[in-house]
Amino acid sequence: MEIKENEYHIVLFPWLAFGHVIPFLELSKSLASKSDSIQISFISTPSIIKRLPSIQPPSLKSRINLISIDLPSVDNLPAGCEATVDLKDGEQTQYLKKVYDELQAPVETLLKRIEPDLTIYDLINCWIPDVGTKLDIPTAFFSVYSTPMLAYAGPPSVYKESNNNHRRTPQDFAQVPGWISFPSTASYRFHEAVIMSEHINNPDITGLSTGQRHAKAVGGCNFILARSCVEVDGDYLNLLGDIYQKPVIPIGLLPPPAQSLAMKASDNSAKSSDSEIFCWLNKQQPKSVVFVGFGSESK
């Protein structure tokens, strides 16, 4: 992709999980649709690039460049594993993080060559701000997590060892934190709190815990992009601005474009499964159906 002088070039680089990749791709499409002068470079692994859904509408394809970057090999990570969905169990995720961290040097080389105007990054590649500072490229942290979840996670200072004495046990994670001053239910149930307290506080083989990555991701960027809107999460967005002390920009909920849904519904080659589901639901009595969500990668 050749970037013209009057074009604004944005790089997006998500974590290697499709629950992160797809929102980043939707954000890419949303940004590219705003202006003909916006060009997007979307970075991921060859395997993930191949598994991405086609870009709709087709008019955006010329403005979104998909860039593959090879993962180096690492012990304990089976060959061909380029996304969390490829892993046999959650224990292997730390090895995927390790090999992902090793992309810092090649990504720096890439960014130096293509000279973007902005780089949007994820939680795990929290080293992007260091690269941006070195190359004089502004950076933005885009969280695929909800705004209440970000507010619950709190300020970066919480995850410094000297300050993290009040959030060490599962009980600490099973209650609304004190910095949320308005009525809120943002907390974990105890069985979730047990897992979260370990992830937040305990470094894995990369030498970083999830809490430390969060602190680096939030603390190092120029601004934060929140997957939310004022109408839904106004109180939480205001709180985030206060605790981060930097701009927090709501970008909406990133639903699929209306034209993509219309194209799917009018596709005569295969009956839309969504249409079948809604037709069935419309025939059921109120409060007679239970929806169970297992997450994006449960097996």
Q: Which positions are annotated as active-site residues?
A: 20, 122
- Is 67 contained in some domain? yes
Q: DSSP characters for 162-189?
A: TTTTSS-SHHHHTS--TT--SS------
CB count in 10 Å sphere of residue 197: 20
In a domain, 291, yes or no: no
pLDDT of residue 255: 77
| Per-residue pLDDT at 4 | 66
Is 117 domain-assigned? yes
Residue 63 lies in a domain: yes
In a domain, 281, yes or no: no
Sheet arrangement for strand 118-121: 64-68, 38-44, 8-13, 118-121, 139-143, 223-226, 248-250
**Is 0.75 topped by the overall pTM?**
yes
> Using alpha carbons only, what angle is made at residue 235 by residues 233 and 236, rounded to the nearest 5 degrees?
65
Tokens of 187: 């907390």
Block mean pLDDT (10 aa), the chain, length 299: 78 96 96 95 97 92 96 90 92 95 98 97 98 98 95 88 66 92 93 88 94 95 96 96 96 74 51 76 94 74
Range of the domain at 156: 8-257
Distance CA 103, CA 109 (A): 10
Looking at the domain assignment, is residue 191 inside a domain?
A: yes
Q: Contact at 8 Å (CB) between 147 and 228?
A: yes
Structural domain includes residue 279: no
Query: What is the reported pLDDT for 256?
Result: 67
* Cis previous bond, 72, omega within 30: no
- Look at the chain and report how many structural domains it folds into: 1
Position 296 in a domain:
no
Question: Could you say which DSSP state residue 58 is in?
Answer: G
Beta bridge partners of 225: 142, 249
What Rg do the C-alpha atoms of the chain give, in angstroms?
20
What pLDDT, on a 0 to 100 scale, did the predictor assign at position 270?
A: 46
What pLDDT is recorded for position 195?
87
User: How much is the pLDDT for 158?
Assistant: 85
CATH no. for residue 65? 3.40.50.2000
Res 269: pLDDT: 44
